[in-house]
Amino acid sequence: MQTSEQVAILSYTNIVCTPFSLAGSFYMIYSSFKTCAKSFSSRLVFCLALSDLLLSICDGIDIFVPAANQDCTIVGFLRIFGIYSNMLWMTQILSVLFVQFVMEYAGVDRLFPYLVISNILGSLAPNLVTLYQQNFGGELQFGDVNGDCFITPPSAYVWVMMIPFGTLLTLSCFLTGKVYLVFRNLETGIGNIEYKQLFMYPAILVLLNVPISVDYATKSQYFPLTLSCMIMFKSIGLINALQFRRASNTKAKLMKESQQDVILRTLSQDGDSSFT
């Protein structure tokens, strides 16, 4: 059970972190539109940014309209959709990289429409179950959980939230290890740098979700862990935006070096031709 002081600290953390997460999500989406990024990996990152944005918007709403003073059905629905979508994109991106680089299957980019459809349906499923029970006398409802609109009561959503999340996280940890072993021995070049950078998004999310799962399993008994998880979860848009910026800079640097190599080789060939 958290003290009133701890609850206040968590509330202030949400107020501080959410604007940065919103800004990070908008930056990723704006940059994607500005550069007209149409590659397969860019579309996956764009979809991940949309789920980050949805979560940040829900956090922002809870700042201005506390969960205790609102009907949590809409915000709770959107938050659960965003959390599931984010978790599913993490697993789906890792699955794509696993199929393409570990199983060496070409043409995985043709699966993008199916990835989007499955993500939407998977994110809707827990919401539809909760709405059905809420309207027909079941146990699950959307309500206030520690200041956030969420599914209530916590003891009733093991099958709706915890088991699916545990399954996805376990699968993601396995895929992360497999893909990392391949990428570790893969030479960094223009052809594969985009996918190496794509791998970092789900890898970071896996690292973030492990302590969050531990915090839930211990029922938030260790406040420093709870606070750390709160900061990471509420800053997810900013964390992904920093990786997005790093990936953009790395790609631009490699392209510049590649262009310089081409110019030097061309000048060298011209010099040899003139000498002969």
CB of 47 closer than 8 Å to CB of 5: no
Contact (CB, 8 A) for 163 and 116:
no
CATH of 4-263, one of 1.20.1070.10, 3.30.70.360, 1.10.540.10, 2.60.40.420: 1.20.1070.10
* Type of residue numbered 232: M
Token couple for 37: 């990024």
Residue 255 to residues 171, 258, 271: CA-CA distances in angstroms?
34, 5, 24
The set of residues, in sequence order, having a beta carbon less than 8 Å from that of 147 and lying 6+ positions away, is 7, 10, 11, 14, 62, 66, 67, 68
3-state secondary structure of 186: coil
pLDDT digits (tens, 9 = 90+) for 216-244: 778 778 888 889 988 988 898 999 999 88
pLDDT value of residue 258: 59
Q: What is the pTM of this model?
A: 0.85
For residue 67, give both structure tokens.
Answer: 């969960």
Domain extents in the chain? 4-263
Per-residue pLDDT of the chain (276 residues; tens, 9 = 90+): 567 788 888 888 888 999 999 999 999 998 887 766 678 888 999 999 999 999 999 888 888 887 666 788 899 999 999 999 999 999 999 999 999 888 888 788 888 999 999 999 999 999 999 999 989 888 888 988 777 888 888 777 677 778 888 899 999 999 999 999 888 887 766 667 778 888 888 888 888 888 888 887 787 788 888 899 889 888 989 999 998 888 878 777 776 765 655 555 665 655 555 545
Taking Cα atoms as reference points, which of 63, 65, 37 lies closest to residue 49?
37
Residues 6+ apart with CB under 8 A from 73: 131, 134, 142
